[in-house]
Amino acid sequence: MKFFAFGILLLVLISCIVYSQLTNRHKAIIKTTFLYKTGLVDSEWNVTDTFGKYAMVSPTFLIDGIYKSMEGPKSSNYVQLSKDSTLLWMTGFNVEALDAKTGEKLSNDFICHTNIDFNDVKYYSNFNLNARIGSQYPRLTSLSNGMENFEFPKGFGVPMRGNDLLFVTTESLNHNIKDITKWIKHEVTISYSSQTEKPLMSRTVFIMLPFDKEDPYKDPLDPGSNSCIPVETKNHTYEDGKGNKLSGHWVIPVGKNTYRSSANGQLQIKDSLRLHAAAIHVHPFATAIRLFDKTANKAVFTSNIKNYTTKIGLESVPQFSSEKGIWLYGNHDYELILDVNNTTNENQDMMGSMFLFFYDAELDAKLNH
């Protein structure tokens, strides 16, 4: 019994040492899994589907300290807007933070991001658009701190069969309150309609910056080289096709900086496309992000971002929405440009993404055939 007790004590000690060395994100995963598996907190999604509004309340998240962007407790859920193959049109998305005990609405400071993914094989097969399968990461859109609500312009929507699956992941956040023990939930809502709209397709563009693959955490020799230090090399790491490594999640130093990345490969414009909407995802200390037409030497549009002045966080991240739309052309050169101003006295992390929605003429022709 003594050896058994000693073994248990040693195992606990080793586990504590290993746990203490984990990143904040991995600690959150372990704590959340433990709470759900032991039944100490609610681990189920609560769904309410009133036609036209699919609302789901997440499991409970424990906020017990600082959780920066991409670090907080999170949960995922599969969604079917209906049980049959009725054609429905998604028109908007919303996320709110709630007190887990009272249901009272809380500050958006507890919302990191909510991702809406789709099964591109099933989705494109249903519309006989098989050539699009695997052409882009199948993320429809993302809501995040500062842009918790996103709606398409009047008359437009994303069509899908009601029994197709969406995969929703929502993650919590806490940049400011160190001493805290709070139980929260997220309520995610998808608005949809059976009324025929003009179809939109999504293209995701995001900033990817080169880093030294041999010594990734070394400061760039030239601060103006548009290279970066990645937050980590396992996630959000890509290759440029020439053996060079790129990061979509990087470190920004104190002060003002501008980052840019070509958007041509992600836009995949063969001839022309008409842009009608854009959802923006950035982290605190971003001040503006623009889709820039280098050929015409002007911005397609700019989202001027407002940060809080008394705390860390994004007060507003304006979306782009236009019934008329803006034309983009295959023979033009486009890039994504992000301005930041790190007003703290330490390095922070950053991402810069856009979820762009274009009128889908090919799908429109198939739906009206």
Q: How far is CA 207 from the centre of its chain?
A: 13
Taking only the tens of pLDDT, the chain with its 369 residues reads 656 565 666 565 665 665 566 677 778 888 899 889 999 999 999 999 888 999 999 999 999 999 998 899 999 999 999 999 999 999 999 999 999 999 999 999 999 999 999 999 999 999 999 999 999 889 999 999 999 999 999 999 999 999 999 999 999 999 999 999 999 999 999 999 999 899 999 999 999 999 988 888 887 666 667 788 999 888 889 988 888 899 999 999 999 999 999 999 999 999 999 999 999 999 999 999 999 999 999 999 999 999 999 999 999 999 999 999 999 999 999 999 999 999 999 999 999 999 999 999 999 999 987
Q: Which of 165, 198, 231 is the last residue of a domain?
A: 198
Give the whole-angstrom CA distance, residue 35 versus residue 53.
30
Q: Which of 145, 170, 198 is the last residue of a domain?
A: 198
- Longest Cα–Cα distance of the chain, Å, equals 78
Q: Tokens for 230, please give them.
A: 């990645």
pLDDT at 265: 93
pLDDT at 27: 80
6 lies in a domain?
Answer: no
Q: Tokens for 248, please give them.
A: 């979509």
SS3 at position 120: helix
Give the whole-angstrom CA distance, residue 171 versus residue 188.
11
Question: Strands 334-342, 286-293: parallel, antiparallel or unpaired by DSSP?
Answer: antiparallel
Q: Answer yes or no: do 232 and 309 share one domain.
A: yes
Q: Which has the closest alpha carbon to 163: 132, 131, 195, 123?
A: 123
Q: Answer yes or no: do 145 and 269 share one domain.
A: no
Q: Answer yes or no: do 235 and 324 share one domain.
A: yes
Q: Which residues contact 7 (CB under 8 A, 6 or more apart)?
A: none
pLDDT at 3: 60
Q: Tokens for 307, please give them.
A: 């940060």
pTM: 0.92
Q: Answer yes or no: do 336 and 225 share one domain.
A: yes
312 DSSP assignment: S
Q: Answer yes or no: do 165 and 226 share one domain.
A: no
Q: Which of 183, 198, 213 is the last residue of a domain?
A: 198
Backbone dihedral region for residue 268 (phi beyond 0: left; psi -120 to 50: alpha; all else: beta)? left
Q: Which has the closest alpha carbon to 211: 181, 231, 184?
A: 231
What CATH number is given to the structural domain containing 117? 2.60.120
Cβ atoms 292, 216 nearer than 8 A: no
Q: In total, how many domains does the chain have?
A: 2
Cβ atoms 322, 277 nearer than 8 A: yes
Cβ atoms 261, 334 nearer than 8 A: no
Q: Answer yes or no: do 144 and 40 share one domain.
A: yes
- Amino acid at residue number 221: L
Q: Answer yes or no: do 339 and 223 share one domain.
A: yes
Q: Tokens 């470190």 — which residue? A: 251
**Domain span holding position 117:** 15-198
If residue 16 lies in a helix (H) or strand (E), which one and from where to where? helix 2-20
Q: Answer yes or no: do 243 and 170 share one domain.
A: no
